[in-house]
Amino acid sequence: MPETLRLSADPDGIARAAALLRAGGLVAFPTETVYGLGGDAADDRAVARIFEAKGRPRFNPLIAHVADLAMAERLAVFDDWARAVAAAFWPGPLTLVLPLRADAGLSPLVTAELPTVAIRLPAHPVAQALLRAFGGPLAAPSANPSGKVSPTRAEHVVEGLSGRIEAVVDGGACAVGVESTILGLDGAPALLRPGGVPVEALEALLGAIATGGDAKKPNAPGQLASHYAPGAAVRLNAVAVHPGEVRLGFGPGAADLNLSPAGDLVQAAANLFHMLRQADALAGPGGTIAVAPVPEAGLGRAINDRLRRAAAPRG
């Protein structure tokens, strides 16, 4: 990929950034918390590339950024409490976890197949301008390589991700510098991550808020019980196929379904969640899905992590 473009935060820069996003590109942009690494939240390939660019070893759920409440309500079910919180704190550094709408149209990589979606309406004028120009939700984790510090300046983004993303919109330094507060509102209010909005401010509106997720929440690594588990058995690193098995391929060779005939990990990640479901339907109850080996490198680590969860014994 060519060098990462540095775009100015003026109407021309915003228009170019929106065009890159519409073409499936990745564009980092400033929010009031940190720089986000944005991609079209409805585009499997763009979202897969976010994981690749960051070098994330796991498909954890991403926050969907929206331009306005109407866009948010197309993604999630808002009750009166959620509307009251949104009215009080949006735009701002607050992410709400709400029930996902069946017709939300998001890539399953954004929600990691959870029945909920994390949504934020940022206050930063450049983030808002970009979201309006793009016209749809942007999946955007922090714009840093996995395990590194979150970026609060365009230079930080370039240092970490240059050559891995199409562009960064330079909006200067971020004001808050810490991540958004994440509030779970899919049940009793729960603080899933402290951040830019103090919990006391939320409690003034909602009353006492439980801290920390529960076992059903994915905010701690490994707590992915709500992930879709195939009904069929899953056999990993299957070099040969046994009679009656459904072959989920990777790379050249005969297969019922192929994550990527060309052996492209981004394509495989983009197809993974859809094809696991298709393979499960083909295999039927009592059947087996034989998954071809996927290299344990780059995005392959996240793919294999998801496949191992699919293959794990279930009680």
Q: Which residues bind ligand AMP (CB under 6 A)?
A: 60-63, 97, 111, 114, 116-118, 141-142, 179, 182, 192-193, 217-219
Which C-beta is closer to ligand AMP: that of 13 or that of 218?
A: 218
Euclidean distance between CA atoms 43 and 192, whole angstroms: 26
Site for Mg ion in 268-307 (CB under 5 A): none
Q: Which of these, 283, 302, 309, 250, lies nearest to 61 by C-alpha position?
A: 302
Question: Which span (25-33, 136-144, 165-173, 193-201) binds Mg ion, by CB under 5 A?
Answer: 136-144
Structure tokens at 217: 């929440």
Which C-beta is closer to Mg ion: that of 96 or that of 283?
A: 96
Per-residue b/e over 282-301, b at no fewer than 16 CB within 10 Å?
bbeeebbbbbbebeeeebbb
Least distance from ligand AMP to the Cβ atom of residue 51, Å:
10
Euclidean distance between CA atoms 203 and 38, whole angstroms: 31
Least distance from Mg ion to the Cβ atom of residue 117, Å:
18
Which C-beta is closer to ligand AMP: that of 21 or that of 283?
A: 21
Which C-beta is closer to ligand AMP: that of 207 or that of 222?
A: 222
Q: Per rule CB under 5 A, is residue 33 in the interface with Mg ion?
A: no
Pairing of strands 94-99, 181-184: parallel
Least distance from ligand AMP to the Cβ atom of residue 256, Å:
31
Find which of ligand AMP, Mg ion, none residue 219 binds, CB within 5 to 8 Å per kind: ligand AMP
Contacts of 19 (CB under 8 A, 6+ apart): none
CB closest to Mg ion, residue no = 142
Least distance from ligand AMP to the Cβ atom of residue 81, Å:
17
Find which of Mg ion, ligand AMP, none residue 116 binds, CB within 5 to 8 Å per kind: ligand AMP
Q: Where are the beta strands (DSSP E) in the chain?
A: 5-8, 27-30, 35-40, 63-65, 94-99, 116-120, 138-139, 167-170, 181-184, 190-193, 210-211, 233-235, 246-249, 257-258, 288-291
Q: Per rule CB under 5 A, is residue 31 in the interface with Mg ion?
A: no
Pairing of strands 116-120, 181-184: unpaired
Which C-beta is closer to ligand AMP: that of 106 or that of 291?
A: 106
Q: Per rule CB under 5 A, is residue 142 in the interface with Mg ion?
A: yes
Least distance from ligand AMP to the Cβ atom of residue 247, Å:
32
Which C-beta is closer to ligand AMP: that of 164 or that of 235?
A: 164
Least distance from ligand AMP to the Cβ atom of residue 225, Å:
12
Which C-beta is closer to ligand AMP: that of 114 or that of 290?
A: 114
Q: Where are the beta strands (DSSP E) in 70-211?
A: 94-99, 116-120, 138-139, 167-170, 181-184, 190-193, 210-211
Euclidean distance between CA atoms 53 and 185, whole angstroms: 30
77 near 153, Cβ under 8 Å?
no
Which C-beta is closer to ligand AMP: that of 223 or that of 278?
A: 223
Find which of ligand AMP, Mg ion, none residue 31 binds, CB within 5 to 8 Å per kind: none
What is the size of the binding site for Mg ion (CB under 5 A)?
1
Give the binding site for Mg ion (CB under 5 A).
142
